[in-house]
A and B are shown apart, each in its own frame.
Chain A
Amino acid sequence: MQVGSSYLGEPIARVEDPRLLTGGGRYLDDLGQDAVELAVLRSPHAHARILDIDVSGAIDVPGLLAIYTYDDLSGPLAEPLPLLIPHPSISAGRTQYVLAKDEVNYVGEAIAVVVAENRYLAEDAAERIEVSYELLPPVVGLVAAREAQQLVHRDVEGNVAAHFVQQVGDAAAAIAAAPHRLSLELSVERSASTPLEGRGVLARWDTDSQRLRVWTSTQTATGVRAAIAARLGLDLGSVEVITPDVGGGFGVKIVHPWPEEVLVPMAARALGRAVKFTEDRREHFISSAHERAQLHEVEVGFDDEGHLLGLSVRFWHDNGAYLPYGLIVPIITSTQLLGPYKPAAYRVEFESLYTNTVIVTPYRGAGRPQGVFAMERTMDAIAAELGIDRAEVRARNFIQPEEMPYDHGLIFQDGRPLVYDSGDFPATLDKLKALVGWDEWPAYQAQARASGRKVGLGLACYVEGTGVGPYEGGHVQIETTGKVKVSTGLTSQGQGHQTAFAQIVADELGVAISDIEVVTGDTRRFPYAVGTFASRAAVMSGSAIALAARAARAKILRVAADALEAAAEDLEIVDGMVRVKGAPGNEIALGTVAVLSNPLRYAFDEASKAATQFAVGDPDLPPVAEDDEPGLEGKDYYSPLRSTFANGMHAVIVETDPDTAEVAILRYCVVHDCGTLINPRIVEGQIHGGVAQGVAGALYERMAYDESGQLQNASFMDFLMPYVSEVPERIEIDHLETRSPLNPLGIKGAGEAGVIPGAAVFASAISDAEGFQITAMPISPSELFELRRQHAANAAQKGTQP
């Protein structure tokens, strides 16, 4: 690292923002103004057999170009979509077809697509397609799925897609022998990513070169590319996938290929026209993905001090109609539930169940909000049972810093052992207690109660496995202008990668941020990549880019050492100049080094004149030495042994209205440890957005399916994504920086942190305010009102008993 030129850790403003904030963003629907448009006919029924599809009524619609149903598909296009992440415990993995074959399993499943001159006409035509159905009984919700009186898939008994058990020690025996035991039933409802920009795809088929270029609003350009090539029978080299600006992903856009990501290129090739699909909001609600619905049964045994002797968790996961993303969400719940704690024995068992509802795939937090809810409600219950301070019970069960790396003896979602690499949980808790004023709380609460106010303080801790493999790569190139071009294959959905990655490169190469350009998610620039999910971009691509920049730096110094007639180790790079340490004036610009690195035949400008083969190098040697390459660039990959574990703790103070049962947020405090901070401002922005989604999942959002499987709130009018007026005006944040030993910069992921403890911390605070335990989230004022009545009635009944 350069003396006096450290960008790493600086809260610099995002270089993306001026463009995005002044309307300069180019999102999918901004592209392809010449494209014809595709609309999808979707199932109005949750479960039905398709008897007949009659398109004759649609044929006359003006501007109609094509209608496709399942019968029009052949080869790989007619096969079910892939089960992206298989797992040995999946006994019945079912995925949907790009267009429904014989049966539909949720309201919103694609049945036919229409391509017309514009979306209006395409919808007109779609409306005129007549589908005859034989209705089948729908399975909606976990209770119905478990009862299995009706089946989602005829051949899947009990609606069970997978059954999985992991254990360390004999939890049942430990619980049975424990001095204290508790059982809890805890549930979380469905929510969804709901990015501001929905899904969207644009495809152009070049008839001359027989090549396909696709733009898609995705979290994985390389994944979509491989999927399209496989489904359309094209060589990978004939398909390019580019991600334009993406208006948020939060998990839903890691699923791939979406049916439309295959159907749009298919239509573009068939019609020889650019074809575009822009998902509308209702479609997003009923045909992309949801998450979170789980029911948990916790058995815990503990000693008089509150030490966890045995913990046994059974839970049921609603995976929706199909299982394209495997078991990632429930596996994360089952492992990350443990948080910062070390029960002496642990057993977890889950069933992943089919229902006739939209598919379930990771949404920011990905199973952790549920796991943390289950664990933290348990810690509060133990504290209440023993009459011990809630923070103290937690502290007594923490894994200690000197126990790191800590091996839980379980297998994590990446198939690797669940080993925490680093973290200082006692220090995190101390910081949070100081930040929120934990020790002063009882006095404050007593005072508020005396004046008729109901206030509550909640606490929740979590550990988050971030930066999962297998790999990412980075490429760094110095141009003859001295500008630096950086690319990595994973995508950006608004995280500020252009800024954060540039900060890394600026430090490694000693150049100004303004001279660095970062490109992400373009398979033309970087064809090997995994994607942006699991809080992995900074860890994976950040590390890869750092390594690539170091490779470029090594070459810079080698070439410059030659030119300056100095030893490479005596050189430093400052402000774009390579100079000999302690020898002012003996320096060479990076751009000139780039010129020297590339002997040319042809000259177009002054820089290239200086680089012709007649101007540079030793005439007795080949212009490009053996084992060398022309140009000044570095490329490298980062592939970690396993995930790195970030952690954090949140506290919230709420006030509940004694009359209306509305919940007001008085303070929200976060202590967060994601290792080395590349840019604290970006990390805090991630926390702000995550907390907003945590508030959403705790107090507002749910998917209101009725018994027939109709989603009753498929719009932002009734799906209550919080407005800015519903999230805390101020989020108080403190950081720890416990470096990860697993990567060159000591980074841990920060993308999902803010949302993870949301349901848990609000349940804790509302319970503290109300004096009874909250066991199901989210909670609305109406539900809190009903709970108050129920508890008042129970208390009255107890009072009348002898």
Chain B
Amino acid sequence: MKPPAFDYSRPETLEEAVGLLAELSSGGKVLAGGQSLLPILSMRLAAPEHLVDINRIAELDTISAGPDGVRLGALARHAAVERDPAVRSTQPLIPAALRQVAHPTIRNRGTTLGSIVHADPSGEMPAVLALLGGSVTAVSARGRRTISAAEFFLGPLESALGPDEIAVEAYFPALAVRSGTAFAEVSRRHGDYAVCGVAALVSVDQERRITSARAGYLSIASTPLVLDLTEAVLGRRCADDLSAAGRLARQLVEPDADIHASADYRRDLAGVLSDRVITEAARAAAGSGPGD
């Protein structure tokens, strides 16, 4: 479990970094927190020629939260984002999901944007980005572009990012008025990849009746799966029976089995957890009050 030889650069500026990646064509790989990349290298599952370490690029170490949403730079560590009060008040789903990302030591080093770019369908943050309809901004020598979450995740461990591009920012829309979120997952051990995880975003009207209920799923499909469950619970209140959401989710998901769980168990969990998070998110939406 020792990686094969690779070249290593640690540029000080973004310009320098994208220049390097352009030169390397497809032989370069960006190193940020390294929490997924380094094990992959050690197990010799990948052997990039050249690692471009972006940890010295100060302009990427940003966390900002404003009326329109949360913007995370490529060096924003999970732990820092998780504890940021402005992030929490702008989009509480982010810290709720981050608490389920691996273990504290990994969150100290791992970056939120890095885990999005890794595009693991079992990752919490890709599902959150997809559910909220966020986006990823990428920079390369060719220029700068913003990719919507819907177009970003192409398959397991596969994103729309080009080999010469650096993802520099993730954008998560702010929580709208009369909206609430919730996150829940079942994992075999604390901090493991979830057997199934669900994030919910629910909006209510002034009578606190549900107008929209959407859920984002991890470990259920080959990319983060977003389901619109509104039809199952439209017009209901949080105190009502919302289990139709779970029933609909069970119908819509097509999970695979693996060594940890049967497909049926996963499907059932998707339903159970959908009920839990839709109810909790509806409660949060109702509690945010008509005047908010």
Contacts and interface: CB of A to CB of B under 8 A. Distances in A.
Interface stretch (A120-128, A131-139, A174-182): A120-128
A713 B43 contact: no
A700 B188 contact: yes
A9 B4 CA distance: 53
B260 A780 contact: yes
Contacts of B5: 120, 124
Contacts of A660: 186, 269, 272
A786 B257 CA distance: 13
A92 to B, nearest CB: 32
Given A120-B4, A720-B188, A780-B260, 15 more contacts: A120-B5, A124-B5, A127-B44, A282-B43, A659-B272, A717-B193, A723-B190, A725-B189, A725-B191, A781-B195, A782-B260, A782-B262, A785-B262, A785-B268, A786-B265
Given A282-B1, A659-B272, A785 B265 contact: yes
B63 to A, nearest CB: 28
Most buried by A among B43, B259, B260, B269: B259
Closest 8 CB pairs of A and B: A725-B190, A782-B265, A280-B1, A782-B261, A704-B259, A120-B2, A659-B272, A785-B265
Interface in B165-198: 186, 188-193, 195
A662 B186 contact: yes
Given A119-B2, A282-B43, A782-B195, A720 B189 contact: yes
Contact of B264 (A127, A659, A786): A786
A713 B268 CA distance: 24
A722 to B, nearest CB: 6
A661 B264 CA distance: 13
A723 B189 CA distance: 7
B259 A713 contact: yes
Interface in A735-789: 780-782, 785-786, 789
Interface residues of B, number: 24
B11 interface: no
B3 interface: yes
A726 B190 contact: yes
A723 B191 contact: yes
A281 interface: yes
Contact of B265 (A124, A704, A720, A781): A781
A697 to B, nearest CB: 15
Contacts of B272: 659-660
Nearest to A786: B262
A712 interface: yes
Contacts of A723: 189-191
A726 B1 contact: no
Interface residues of A, number: 29
Contacts of B262: 782, 785-786
A459 B269 CA distance: 30
23 contacts: A124-B5, A282-B43, A660-B269, A700-B188, A700-B189, A717-B192, A717-B193, A718-B259, A718-B260, A720-B188, A723-B189, A723-B190, A725-B189, A725-B190, A725-B191, A726-B190, A780-B261, A781-B188, A781-B261, A781-B265, A782-B261, A785-B262, A786-B264
Contacts of B268: 785
A281 B261 CA distance: 24
Interface in B218-248: none
Contacts of B265: 661, 781-782, 785-786
Nearest to B261: A782
Interface of A: 119-120, 123-124, 127, 280-282, 659-662, 700, 704, 712-713, 717-718, 720, 722-723, 725-726, 780-782, 785-786, 789
A584 to B, nearest CB: 59
Interface in B111-137: none
A670 B28 CA distance: 56
B77 to A, nearest CB: 21
A453 to B, nearest CB: 16
Contacts of A786: 262, 264-265
A61 to B, nearest CB: 10
A357 to B, nearest CB: 15
Contacts of A782: 195, 260-262, 265
Interface string B187-213: 011111101000000000000000000
B183 to A, nearest CB: 15
B189 A712 contact: no
A785 B269 CA distance: 10
Contacts of B192: 717, 720
Nearest to A660: B186
Given A704-B259, A723-B189, A782-B265, A281 B1 contact: yes
Nearest to A120: B2
Most buried by B among A280, A281, A282, A660: A660
Contacts of A717: 192-193
Interface in B36-58: 43-44
Contacts of B191: 723, 725
Interface string B262-286: 1011001100100000000000000
A366 B192 CA distance: 29
Contacts of A780: 188, 260-261
A712 B259 contact: yes
Interface string B1-20: 11111000000000000000
A700 B260 CA distance: 10
Most buried by A among B3, B44, B193, B269: B269
A760 B5 CA distance: 49
Nearest to B269: A660
B43 A781 contact: no
B100 to A, nearest CB: 13
Contacts of A124: 4-5
Contacts of A720: 188-189, 192
Nearest to A659: B272
Most buried by B among A282, A700, A720: A720
A600 to B, nearest CB: 54
B257 to A, nearest CB: 9
Contacts of B1: 280-282
Contacts of B193: 717
Contact of B189 (A661, A704, A713, A726): A726
Most buried by B among A280, A281, A712, A782: A782
A713 B5 CA distance: 27
Nearest to A282: B1
A661 B189 CA distance: 14
Nearest to A725: B190
Contacts of A700: 188-189
A127 B272 CA distance: 46
A789 B265 CA distance: 10
A269 B5 CA distance: 29
Interface string B22-40: 0000000000000000000
A781 B259 CA distance: 12
A127 B44 CA distance: 10
Contacts of B264: 785-786, 789
Nearest to B103: A723
A196 to B, nearest CB: 15
Nearest to A712: B259
A661 B272 CA distance: 11
Nearest to A122: B2
Nearest to B43: A282
Contacts of B43: 282
A785 B2 CA distance: 40
A720 B191 CA distance: 12
A255 B1 CA distance: 24
B37 to A, nearest CB: 15
Contacts of A281: 1
A675 B195 CA distance: 45
A280 B260 CA distance: 24
Nearest to B257: A782
Contacts of B2: 119-120, 123
Nearest to B259: A704
Contacts of A659: 272
Nearest to B273: A660
